A and B are shown apart, each in its own frame.
Chain A
């Protein structure tokens, strides 16, 4: 159910927010979605920790991995601001994706509380879906940012 909800959310967001201004604009919008979804994930994580659903160690581990994702995201944002070439943008996206995958594999899989684990896994799925959109835009439209 969570996956279906996440997919519906992304479809609606894209249909409501979409503006036909070209591939670069599409990439900027999806990059913005990535920043927003990572921020939402962090809020969900902090709420789960505040509710006692995560241990201090789990909280620290997830937040440390979020910092890595955010730093990689900032590099991607700067590349777009500098209108870097597609290969640079693509490489920067791959770094973000690797950091998100690391959060999934090494930050979420071992969570003890099933409620927190389910909520954060769903939130992470939204991030991964957005990143997939970025990859698709770069790959299919040969974006030259």
Chain B
């Protein structure tokens, strides 16, 4: 998938589903420039936050 096709698809999704587009951005930005150890440490915190927020 080339960059133009990706951008076009993102525009479609942005129109159809703003919340879903936010998820894409979150997934991509969540790992950008981070080491595996940093990603996993962040995920540790995410899981803990989900447990905390479930109460």
Contact = CB atoms under 8 A, between A and B. Distances in A.
B50 A67 contact: yes
Q: How large is the interface on A (under 10, 10 to 19, 20 to 34, 35 or more residues)?
A: 35 or more
Interface string B23-52: 110111011100011011111101111110
B43 A40 contact: no
Contacts, number: 114
A15 interface: yes
Interface in A64-83: 64, 66-67, 69-71, 73-74, 77-78, 80-81
Contacts of B19: 40, 44
Given A32-B42, A71-B51, A11 B1 contact: yes
A67 B24 contact: no
A1 interface: yes
A114 interface: no
Contact of B53 (A29, A32, A42, A64): A42
B5 to A, nearest CB: 10
